[in-house]
Amino acid sequence: MKAIVTVGLKPGVLDVQGKAVANALVDLGFGEVADARVGKVIEIDLKGQDRDAAHAKVKEMCERLLANTVIESYRIEIA
Amino acid sequence: MKAIVTVGLKPGVLDVQGKAVANALVDLGFGEVADARVGKVIEIDLKGQDRDAAHAKVKEMCERLLANTVIESYRIEIA
């Protein structure tokens, strides 16, 4: 089974990497860019077939390792 | 309009960050983790309303800045 975890900074947290990307795109001539935000995506291959159990496990992984929940939020998809 | 770009290493390219995440998860007791791969997700706010034009522009952004197409592939969603 595959889990896809998307981790991004919470709204309101300054995303300097995103600002740098947006500025670089504008400098390259992409004037239609208003803003950009950068996050991480983590694809995890999991043994086992129980989707609900997998979701619970991946949530625990996010809380313990994958996301800094003080400043980051995460979204889990089980594929 | 919002574009979501997901950038990841091509299959076959060694993902050391993914390996580190997978090993760390196993060490934390998540023995069901077989593998992990880490990529980037870039959310871009775009001015304008034409979806096809936006897709073409974002593809150009990927080729010129957002992805290293030698080792990375990218996927574009226009939301």
Q: Encode pLDDT of A16-36 as tens digits.
A: 999 999 999 999 999 999 999
pLDDT reported for residue B49: 87
Of all residues in chain B, the one with the smallest CA distance to A33 is: B46
Whole-angstrom distance, CA of residue B68 vs CA of residue B79? 24
Which of B71, B70, B63 is closest to B5 using CA atoms? B63
Burial of B16 (0-12, 13-18, 19+ CB in 10 A): exposed
Q: Which residues of chain A have pLDDT under 50?
A: none
pLDDT reported for residue A49: 87
Of all residues in chain A, the one with the smallest CA distance to B18 is: A42
Chain B contact for A32 (CB, 8 A cutoff): yes
Give pLDDT tens digits for B1-38: 999 999 999 999 999 999 999 999 999 999 999 999 99
How many Cβ contacts (< 8 angstroms) between chains A and B?
101
- Indicate if the pLDDT at residue B45 is higher than 90: yes
What ipTM did this prediction achieve? 0.91
Domains annotated on chain B, with CATH: 2-78 (3.30.1280.10)
**Mean pLDDT computed over B33-49:** 96
Measure A46 CA to nearest chain B CA, in Å: 5
Burial of A21 (0-12, 13-18, 19+ CB in 10 A): buried
Structure tokens at A61: 């992984």
B-chain CB neighbours of A45 within 8 Å are 33-36
